[in-house]
Amino acid sequence: YPQPMQAQYYKGCSSKELDELRDTFFNDGLPSRIFTVLPFYPKLVNAFAKTLLQIFTKYDEPTEVFAGKILDRILETDLDDPATLSSLIHLFGIFLNEKYIYQKASHLMQRFIEYLEKSLKPEHVNTPWFSKALYVYEIILAKSELPHLEELSKDVLLRYPLLSMAKVFRIPDPMKQKLFDILIRVSDISNFYSALATSRILIFYSRDELYANNIARSGILSRLLKVIGSFQKLDKINFLESSFLLLTRRCFETTENVDALIRAEINRSFTARPLGGGDDAVRELTTILEEKAHVVMRSPSQFIDVLCETARFQEFDDQGALVDYSLKRFLGEKDKNTQASSAEKSDIYERTGIMHLLLSQLMAASEKDWLSEPANSSDLPENKKAQLDPSRNPVCAYMIFLLKLLVELVSSYNQCKFEFLTFSRRNTYAERPRPRTTAINFFLYRLLDKPVGTDHDKNEAKRREVIGMLARSVIIGFLATVQDDRTTKTDVKLADPHMNFIRKFAIEAIIKAIRNATSSSKLLESNHLKLDMWFRIITSMVYVQAPYLRQLLDSNKVEADQYQLCKLVIDLGLPSVITEAMASIDLNYPFSKKIFNVAVEALNTISSTRNNFSEHFKIEDHDEVEDEVDESDKEEIPDMFKNSALGMYDVEDIEEDDDDDTSLIGDDDAMAFVDSDNGFEVVFSDEDDDMGEEDADDARSDSEENELSSEMQSSTADGTDVDYEVDDAD
């Protein structure tokens, strides 16, 4: 047998001696050894950091001193050594993220910010250290965004002193602005982690409306979206998608939007909890701040202003000192009418370009192969192979992300509805852009497609189903009223003129699509699947129900939306269009029964909703009869826009397109940013922008409708493209 090894530390008999041994080991160049080894093991930086932090709990040297040594190494490292620089910056960030180190490291943060100001350049975006540098900057920036502590007036008496606030390092505004300018000017991003870090940093900047406007117009969103498309196969893609979604939402949030959000959350906080309680609840200030911390941090100054408008402290002692932080609201008539007056303001929107980017990407991606199963699917384990996963196709996964993003935006902001309504594939907009059916027709003709029968591929059917479901949610969100600060149900009789126009416009597009699809037996046969989906969307539209919308819609407005949509559907004659379509269906067709069923379901939905609001419809019917009696003897000049959504626009507001045949190939927003199995592929949206020009001439309108019908037929039968923009007024 071999001789047993002797004890290595046989002389260490006490804990004191072992501590001395550790000190000797640490002083014998351990930090410098770690600095030497670190670049070779970038994935073990976290393990190195945890080991060092544990050692420092038993060591006399302050931890912030060692953090300073790391920073010294960073400053000495050349930018041409990205591996070493990346590991050192990452290690410094982990140390700085420790609360007890941060509190004593203001001088280190100042030095690091100065280093970033000098060294960080847009051309470094794809280097390994760029994302690590932004990781450290995010730690500093996030803490510097904490609200400023205001000095308490001497007139305010408190029985119990307030707790002191932890020390926070504030980034100087000039440095903050310079680093922002660097981030929005980065070139094409090919590093996933750089894109993620950039997106997270810009979310902090976008709290300020001025910064948000600069982000929207800088082109950085297009570059970030390109990364999302290129890395659809990456497991961590959801992190970047979530950050991008939040960033785009912030770009649409004006000061008025944030004010409405804060008011709504404060109103919910003070809603009486006890059943039958009529008064607003008394709430503790600390409880409100804990529950609504995310709202407070959205805009601390606005939160204070809104809360102080109506909330007052209640508990004071005989000397006038505040003894408790309970709040009660006092609403006067002026406060109750604030919501109504704010809703009456007419908004004039300036285009951000974000909706154009997203819709252009969606149209370009839809031209690619988003239905087939990837070739490498055969290599999957049997249990995963049996699962129907639409996102296995990267193009389909990219389209799903774009549609989910559009659902969020068009359901939440009127600005997005405006950009969706006026979308032009040419990306040329007048000072007062006209409404266009390009976007709505793209959804109706291309995305709202029912899955084919069981004889076809199940994966393809599942992808059609998911895309169609999301497309339906986008359209219903487009027609629904956005949330505001009101906590009571909206009067169903009050119609928002903006939403009224949008709804008329969409309903007329659906009516025209149904009429074109049923204009001949050949078209009817080739478009029966689309008819099925169009009838289904009428049901969803009247009920204001669709997947993914429950958390986005305002429950206080759904009832009013149902009434207004049902009223418009009836006024515009959609039920008669449905019955005409049913009458044109030959019962010998194998699909006729299914089409009849969904058409009847749509009619039943309209009838059921009308019955739910029968009192309001009876009143309106009575008013219409009186109007007809009063006006029967008057001569009216025929109005060609009488039943059209464009009747709300002046004739001079309708802008005609020129007959320019210029190529529609634009910049990056005209190509699909998504990887195929054969490598990165660029597909351009080269469709002509308009299927017809607006003209009051009946003959020209008829010819254009015939062109649309023939193109719809060839689109379905031959697999070619259909252009989605048709005449806005016939």
Both 75 and 138 in one domain: the answer is yes
Share of the chain above pLDDT 70, in %: 77
* CA atoms of 505 and 645, how far apart (whole Å): 5
| Most trustworthy range by pLDDT among 37-46, 377-386, 701-710 | 37-46
Q: What is the pLDDT of residues 306-362, one digit of tens each?
A: 999 989 998 888 888 888 888 988 876 445 555 444 444 445 567 889 999 999 999
* CA atoms of 523 and 233, how far apart (whole Å): 39
User: How many separate domains does the chain show?
Assistant: 3
702 inside domain: no
Both 140 and 223 in one domain: the answer is yes
Q: Would you state the pLDDT for residue 220?
A: 96
Q: Would you state the pLDDT for residue 236?
A: 93
| Phi, psi at 322, each rounded to 5° | -75, 125
- In this predicted structure, which of 299-308, 434-443, 528-537, 699-708 has the lowest mean pLDDT? 699-708
Q: Would you state the pLDDT for residue 122?
A: 94
Q: What single-letter DSSP state applies at residue 158?
A: B
Q: In which domain, by residue range, is 318 found?
A: 256-335
Q: Which residues does 716 contact at the CB level (< 8 Å), separation at least 6?
A: 526, 527, 530
Enter the pTM of the model: 0.82
Question: Measuring CA to CA, how many Å separate 653 from each of 219, 500, 561, 700?
Answer: 30, 18, 27, 21
Which of 197, 230, 252 is the endpoint of a domain?
Answer: 252
pLDDT of 511 over the 70 cut: yes
Q: What single-letter DSSP state applies at residue 676?
A: E
Which of 225, 252, 279 is the endpoint of a domain?
Answer: 252
pLDDT of 405 over the 90 cut: yes
Cα 283-262-277 angle, rounded to 5 deg = 35
User: In this structure, what token pair is assigned to residue 530?
Assistant: 């689309």
Both 368 and 289 in one domain: the answer is no
609 inside domain: yes
Half-sphere exposure of 549 (CA within 13 A, CB side): 30
* CA atoms of 716 and 295, how far apart (whole Å): 49
pLDDT of 228 over the 60 cut: yes
pLDDT of 94 over the 70 cut: yes
Which of 192, 221, 252 is the endpoint of a domain?
Answer: 252
141 inside domain: yes
Q: What single-letter DSSP state applies at residue 634?
A: S
Both 454 and 476 in one domain: the answer is yes
Cβ(224)–Cβ(199) below 8 Å:
yes
- In this predicted structure, which of 240-249, 312-321, 558-567, 627-636 has the lowest mean pLDDT? 627-636
Both 240 and 270 in one domain: the answer is no
Both 570 and 452 in one domain: the answer is yes
User: In this structure, what token pair is assigned to residue 31?
Assistant: 């930090």
Nearest Cα to Cα of residue 492 among 559, 553, 566, 568 = 559
Going by pLDDT thresholds of 50, 70 and 90, the confidence category of residue 450 is low
289 inside domain: yes
Both 135 and 195 in one domain: the answer is yes
**Kind and range of the H or E element at 313?**
strand 311-313
Cβ(240)–Cβ(211) below 8 Å:
no
Both 312 and 402 in one domain: the answer is no
Both 369 and 320 in one domain: the answer is no
Both 248 and 321 in one domain: the answer is no
730 inside domain: no
- Read off the pLDDT of each residue in 168-177 and give the average, rounded to a whole number: 94
718 inside domain: no
Question: Measuring CA to CA, how many Å separate 491 from each of 479, 558, 565?
Answer: 17, 11, 14
556 inside domain: yes
134 inside domain: yes
For residue 80, the tally of other CB atoms under 10 A from its CB is 8
Q: Would you state the pLDDT for residue 674?
A: 74
pLDDT of 593 over the 60 cut: yes
Both 314 and 366 in one domain: the answer is no
* CA atoms of 132 and 658, how far apart (whole Å): 50
Both 205 and 62 in one domain: the answer is yes
For residue 117, the tally of other CB atoms under 10 A from its CB is 15
* CA atoms of 204 and 133, how far apart (whole Å): 16
- In this predicted structure, which of 86-90, 183-187, 637-641 has the lowest mean pLDDT? 637-641
